[in-house]
């Protein structure tokens, strides 16, 4: 081999040796293999505006948490003091408590608490959820009016509005969770939940088929000697059920107002499960000395059954609203005033008025709203007092 060829070979070997050293020491790096992406754990998807508030230290606190319901859907539960450790404990209690498979709103799993800070907070108005509660447990079908009313209210209030409907026995859970900003429900259901539901009665709904107010009428046979409620002490009294505001709890308050004990005032009591006909039969057949019937401002039960000459009224309860519309106390005063004004003016909008009347095939038949009169405050206080006396 010539000197020239040997020199070239040595040079090639030297270059190869240097390259190997550089690779081994890391000075020359191969293109790295793409790293596998770590799976992102996502237990829920947040939708809509997140409810937030400022605490005493001017920090943003989250007011909403998403939960998975037993029927597979998700919803937001709101607390107006922020999602705290205590709130999470309360949520865990709900998860453990609502294990009845027939209860569709039971909470199956807490999904997550969204993280919110000043930079991501929004100045947009929070959405409004309006719950309408009805008697019964059969699912109802919306024929389009609910969506129409949602659109009308959203435009008038300049914020998203959602209508939800649920059986009346779900109202304590919905109200205590703060999920609803508005709710339409029976007055006695509201009174039952008042201690745990931060809501204000703002409007009384009107409809075409029934008066907005009703009362209990304590009746006896026409020839009974009693002239007042106090004369019924020791008598046989027929009531409806122990869940009835006018027919049981207000009676207990009337007894307490006499300075008597409700547990021993009557000599005997008989429960007739909301049946006016059974109540009248019990009185006419001398199975009871006195009982309670219900009348509205434009409907007399005695006249309806044709017994106005056989039975007479010795006393009455106060007039009670059949249904009420309540607003969350955690809405601002400005928001409450705006919502109240908008609902009062709905009848001036033909499309909104028609949708309101025909909601869920006319189940609610709302023809308008009016503000509670001056006497309502006393009625409300008496009703709350009555439930405390009777231990509801």
Comparing 5-9, 37-41, 229-233, 321-325, the range with the smallest average pLDDT is 37-41
| pLDDT tens per residue across span 65-86 | 555 555 555 555 544 434 445 5
Comparing 168-172, 192-196, 256-260, the range with the smallest average pLDDT is 192-196
Tell me the three state secondary structure of residue 34. coil
Structure tokens at 117: 């800070």
pLDDT band with cut points at 50, 70 and 90 for residue 347: confident
Q: State residue 111's pLDDT score.
A: 44
Domains in the chain with CATH codes:
52-112 (no CATH), 128-211+322-390 (3.40.190.10), 213-320 (3.40.190.10)
Which has more pLDDT, 224 or 125?
A: 224
Phi then psi dihedrals of residue 291, to 5 deg: -160, -175
Q: What distance in Å separates the CA atoms of residue 382 and residue 121, rounded to the nearest whole number? A: 43
The CA R_g of the chain, rounded to the nearest whole Å, is 33
Average pLDDT, integer, range 318-326: 89
Q: Which residues of 336-348 are buried (b: 16+ CB within 10 A; e: fewer)?
A: bebbbebbeebbe
Q: What distance in Å separates the CA atoms of residue 308 and residue 214, rounded to the nearest whole number? A: 18
pLDDT cut 90: percent of the chain above it = 25
Comparing 24-38, 199-213, 255-269, 337-351, the range with the smallest average pLDDT is 24-38
Tell me the three state secondary structure of residue 234. coil
pLDDT band with cut points at 50, 70 and 90 for residue 42: very low
Q: State residue 184's pLDDT score.
A: 93
Q: State residue 122's pLDDT score.
A: 39
Q: State residue 389's pLDDT score.
A: 78
**This prediction's pTM:** 0.63
Q: What distance in Å separates the CA atoms of residue 192 and residue 239, rounded to the nearest whole number? A: 19
Average pLDDT, integer, range 224-253: 91
Residue found by looking up tokens 């709101």 in the block? 78
């Amino acid at each position: 081999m010539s000197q020239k060829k040997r020199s070239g070979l040595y040079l090639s070997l030297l270059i190869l040796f240097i390259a190997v050293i550089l690779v081994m020491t890391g000075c020359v790096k191969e293109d790295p293999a793409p790293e596998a992406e770590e799976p992102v754990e996502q237990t829920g998807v947040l939708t809509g505006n997140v409810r937030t508030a400022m605490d005493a230290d001017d920090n943003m606190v989250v007011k909403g948490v998403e939960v998975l319901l037993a029927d597979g859907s998700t919803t937001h539960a709101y607390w107006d003091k922020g999602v705290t450790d205590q709130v999470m404990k309360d949520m865990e209690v709900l998860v453990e408590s609502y294990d009845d498979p027939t209860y569709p709103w039971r909470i199956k799993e807490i999904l997550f608490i969204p993280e919110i800070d000043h930079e991501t907070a929004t100045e947009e108005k929070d959405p409004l959820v309006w719950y309408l509660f009805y008697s019964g447990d059969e699912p109802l079908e919306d024929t389009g009016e609910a969506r129409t009313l949602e659109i009308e209210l959203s435009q008038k209030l300049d914020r998203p509005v959602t209508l939800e409907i649920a059986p009346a026995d779900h109202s304590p859970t919905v109200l205590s969770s703060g999920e609803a900003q508005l709710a339409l429900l029976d007055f006695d259901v509201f009174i039952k939940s008042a201690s745990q539901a931060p809501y204000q009665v703002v409007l009384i709904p009107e409809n075409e088929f029934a008066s907005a107010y009703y009362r209990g009428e304590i009746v006896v046979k026409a020839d009974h000697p009693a002239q007042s409620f106090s004369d019924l002490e020791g008598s046989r009294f027929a009531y409806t059920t122990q869940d009835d505001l006018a027919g049981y709890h207000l009676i207990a308050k009337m007894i307490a107002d006499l300075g008597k004990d409700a547990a021993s005032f009557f000599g005997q009591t008989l429960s007739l499960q909301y049946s006016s006909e059974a109540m009248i039969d019990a009185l006419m057949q001398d199975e009871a000395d006195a009982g309670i019937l219900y009348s509205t401002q434009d409907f007399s039960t005695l006249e309806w059954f044709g017994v106005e000459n056989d039975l007479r009224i010795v006393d009455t309860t106060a007039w009670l609203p059949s249904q009420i519309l309540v607003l969350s106390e955690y809405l601002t005063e400005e928001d409450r005033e705006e919502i109240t004004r908008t609902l009062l003016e709905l009848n001036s909008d033909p499309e909104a008025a028609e949708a309101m009347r025909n909601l869920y095939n006319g189940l609610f038949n709302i023809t308008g709203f009016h503000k509670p009169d001056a006497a309502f405050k006393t009625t409300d206080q008496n009703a709350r007092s009555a439930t405390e006396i009777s231990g509801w």
